[in-house]
């Protein structure tokens, strides 16, 4: 009787151990799989070469550019807002025409704002103008980018921002922090003499930092 009871207890412990091991495997798999499959969905990073080219040309942080694109269009080059803003970085036609003139692009037409390389270049140039104007203060730059100079003046004089602009600043700032955390300096080639469009140069998501940033995100502006 005691022997039978002992075997029963052993079988129960073995089942419990198997269950614990199974759950452990599931948890470990999820730890690595979720960032891999969901990280790129939550914080996608497309048009890397175009971002890098504009970043180098105008000396603007690539993660800052990527965060603006994510917030404005989620990397959809055909994005079009209700007020007429176009493309990846949601540039207004009049603003695009002005930038084209400043950059000496004589072939500009409104429809060309749908071109990823051109849209990113114009958007980055505009960010650079504002960074120079506001002494590198990214929060003020984002206020201007979304709400124009009136939003910046309102914030500076009364400490008040339109709700949309306030949300925009927080989203872009938070997204930039996440890009810095999970991708790091993704624009730097891993080895010399390897083309940037080589598959081995795809940004690597840092699993541990992804979870850390998701659980305890950095604050906004």
Q: What is the pLDDT of residue 182?
A: 81
Cβ atoms of 57 and 121 closer than 8 Å:
yes
CATH 1.10.530.10 for domain 47-174, yes or no, is: yes
Catalytic residue among 72, 115, 191, 209: 72
Return the domain boundaries, the chain: 1-42, 47-174
The answer to whether residue 134 scores a pLDDT higher than 90 is yes
To the query of whether residue 115 is one of the catalytic residues in this protein, the response is no
**Whole-number Å distance between alpha carbons of 216 and 70:** 20
**pLDDT tens digits along 152-185:** 999 999 999 999 999 999 999 999 998 988 888 8
C-alpha atoms less than 13 angstroms from C-alpha of 167 in its C-beta half-sphere? 5
Distance CA 40, CA 101 (A): 36
């Amino acid at each position: 009787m005691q022997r039978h009871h002992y075997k029963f207890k052993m079988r129960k412990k073995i089942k419990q151990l198997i269950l614990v091991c199974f759950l452990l495997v599931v948890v470990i798999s999820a730890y690595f799989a979720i960032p891999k499959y969901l990280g790129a969905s939550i914080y996608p990073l497309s048009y890397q070469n175009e971002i890098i080219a504009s970043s180098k040309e105008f000396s603007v942080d690539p993660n800052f550019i990527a965060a603006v694109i994510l917030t404005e269009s989620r990397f959809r080059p055909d994005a079009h807002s209700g007020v007429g803003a176009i493309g990846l970085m949601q540039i207004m036609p009049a603003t695009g025409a002005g930038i084209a003139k400043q950059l000496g692009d004589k072939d500009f037409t409104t429809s060309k704002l749908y071109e990823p390389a051109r849209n990113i270049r114009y958007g980055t140039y505009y960010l650079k103008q504002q960074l120079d104007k506001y002494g590198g203060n990214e929060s003020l730059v984002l206020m201007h980018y979304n709400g124009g100079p009136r939003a910046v003046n309102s914030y500076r004089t009364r400490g008040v921002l339109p709700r949309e602009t306030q949300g925009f600043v927080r989203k872009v700032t938070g997204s930039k922090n996440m890009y810095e955390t999970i991708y790091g300096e993704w624009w730097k080639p891993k080895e010399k003499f390897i083309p940037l469009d080589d598959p081995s140069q795809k940004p690597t998501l840092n699993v541990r930092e992804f979870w850390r940033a998701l659980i305890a995100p950095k604050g906004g502006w």
